[in-house]
Amino acid sequence: MTRAWPRSTRARFQASAVLAAAFVVALALSSSGPSSASASSTVDQAALQACIAQRTVNCEQTVPGLSKCMAQRAICNEAAYAELRAQSGPLQPIRTGTDFMTREEAVQRSLLVSSAATASSPVFAESMTLGEVAKRMHLDPAEFGPIDLNRMMWLVTVHAPVMTMGSPRRPPSLVAAFTVVYDAASHTGILTCYGCATLG
């Protein structure tokens, strides 16, 4: 599980592959606050890249400035942050003529999350900003990192059985519903919450 989520909800949430890989490998926590740029400059970027390459070292304890930067939820890995912004759909500007995700697509993709979900499963979908998603799901908006809170999303809840992903401390379990969040402009899933009946 990535550090993008608070400990109290870490077992329930799984970020999309596009964001999770960047945050996990890069150890990059981001915020839109004014402290981000200054905090990143306190991290020894060369030492951080060398530590990440070793894979077995606790970089938070060995890289100068990294622990403080992560505690501030700042941009700690400048190279990974630049790559994330260049490749992640939800971070790209919305251009004229963008083909936005439809409700039907959001629903159909959500049904694929669980093999037990069918066309007759109760599904609820609403279009809203990411900021509103954070409110509905009781999340700190900062947990979505650098994604613009004004971007339009699809929030979809499917009431159908699904197995959770589990964690090192908690085995997978069967829950009765799940919620998925999609960035409408890039058609990218940015969050799946197993056991969350946010809508309906």
Model confidence over 137-188: pLDDT tens digits?
A: 999 998 887 889 999 999 999 999 999 988 778 899 999 999 999 999 999 9
Give residue 20's pLDDT. Answer: 37
- Residue 57 predicted with pLDDT over 50: yes
Domain count, the chain: 2
Q: pTM score > 0.85 for this model?
A: no
Mean pLDDT value across the chain: 80
36 and 111 inside one domain: no
- pLDDT at residue 109, rounded to an integer: 97
Task: Assess whether 110 and 182 both reside in one domain.
Answer: yes
Among 29, 59, 87, where does a domain finish? 87
Domain that holds residue 34: 14-87
Task: Compute how many other C-beta atoms are within 10 angstroms of the C-beta atom of residue 41.
Answer: 12
| Cα–Cα distance for residue pair 3/19, rounded to 1 Å | 11
Residue-level pLDDT at 91: 80
Do 77 and 115 lie in one domain? The reply is no
The pair phi, psi for residue 28, each rounded to 5°, is -110, 110
Residues 112 and 81 in one domain: no
Q: Angle, nearest 10°, between helix axes 45-54 and 78-87? A: 80
